[in-house]
A = this chain, B = another copy of it.
Amino acid sequence: MSDTDFRKMVGEKIKGTNASLFLSKCHYVSGAYDCLKDLQSLSTACEQLESEKSKKGANRIFYLAIPPSIFESAAASIKLGAMTTNGWNRIIVEKPFGKDLNSAAQLENAISQYFSEDQIYRIDHYLGKEMVINLMVLRFANSMFEPIWNRNYISSVQITFKETDGVEGRGSYFDEYGIIRDVMQNHLLQILSLIAMETPVSLEAEDIRNEKVKILRCITPLTRKNLLIGQYISDAKGKVIAYKDDQKGGVKKDSLTPTYALATVYIKNPRWAGVPFILKCGKGLDQRKAEMRIQFRKYPTDLFPKLNQDAINELVLRVQPNEAIYWKINTKAPGLSDSIGQSELDLTYRSRFNIETLPDAYERLLLDVMRGDHNLFVRNDELIAAWKVFTPILHELEKLKVKPTLYPFGTRGPEGEVKFLTDLGVIRTASYHWVNPCD
């Protein structure tokens, strides 16, 4: 593919007044990731562009979204063949970061042979979401959350990532990893650590990541009784085929890979001991949304005996779609009656802010790589600590060939979900539905 072909291909997706300027800066060099010679060619191509365009430092970012199997050799090739000496070199690494503790450690060893930690940017694009970035501001630039942000007042925290899509046609990767590795161990655990972390010394990347690691290290490894796994089957109308029937898409026959998982983890520290952090993710569900839901304990008296049992306070941070923060509260129903209704203190982004569209998480993260800001990237020890939480259960599931509970495509997930949550004391607020004020 020539530069022209490449620009044509890319150009189809790019609009706006500066599109052609942008495209003129796009070049394409073909080669195998793990071939030293090809990387040297890439480097030569770069040098040519650099000499043309600038006398100043020429920096390079290598974005590795490649199969784990060739990771080490690709890293070696870059190191030996493609690094600039006239500026900085940065390496973006995409998941999967291994399949378990051992494989992740091997991968880390491989990469750390060639690059130093400050050159490496492990990307978890959930950390680039508007509402996730906002967590630091909400928690540490406001004074009303800190005093209630603990086991005395919070009864549970739910972090949810639901997708309506299945894996149709993309099963070969997914089937090997499953939803726990694909979503829970990274995206959900990263969000958890931001919700739960202590105030850092500063907002520098190392200080924030120090605190995140502390949280991850305080989590007891997940056990069977705290986990519910599911796999979707065909939907009621039979339009979507069952996950395990998708051999064309790459799913193994009789696959036991979960497409849904619900897990409770506990953080053994003074702030959170005993509070269930409930991680929920799945494909082929009824709804597409990602959110954090912090449920507060009831007011400890019975002054309002008629109050619904589900009239508890919840702080919801909606990540996508339609970013919003809302805090469910009980208020007197306006007027002469003395009945109490649930309402909310609301901050819906599109209703409050004059925004057309928010930048995509990747835009933000790539910008941060250019700025050299590691804040929103995963550090080596975070990764290891995260794997320690999930590796024992992943091995157990595989060894014992545990069967996931089946659920029809397009539903809320396996039947056991309600009981699982109720047993944890989670209250489902059936009598209340948030209405997006923008709708």
Contact = CB atoms under 8 A, between A and B. Distances in A.
A299 B198 contact: no
A143 interface: yes
A143 B301 contact: no
Contact of A332 (B134, B311, B343): B134
Contacts of A364: 336
Q: What is the copy number of this chain in the assembly?
A: 4
Contacts of A270: 146, 199, 299-301
Contacts of A137: 304, 330-332, 340
Contacts of A363: 336
A31 to B, nearest CB: 32
A200 B347 contact: no
Contacts of A329: 138, 142, 144, 347
Contacts of A144: 148, 153, 296, 313, 315, 327, 329
A254 B403 CA distance: 63
A197 to B, nearest CB: 12
A334 B202 CA distance: 22
Interface string A346-385: 1101011101001100011001000000000000000000
B312 A140 contact: no
Interface in A266-322: 268-270, 273-274, 296-304, 307, 311-313, 315
Contact of A269 (B218, B300, B349): B300
A201 interface: yes
A50 interface: no
A214 interface: yes
Contacts of A214: 201
A210 interface: yes
7 contacts: A137-B330, A141-B299, A143-B299, A144-B153, A200-B303, A270-B299, A343-B352
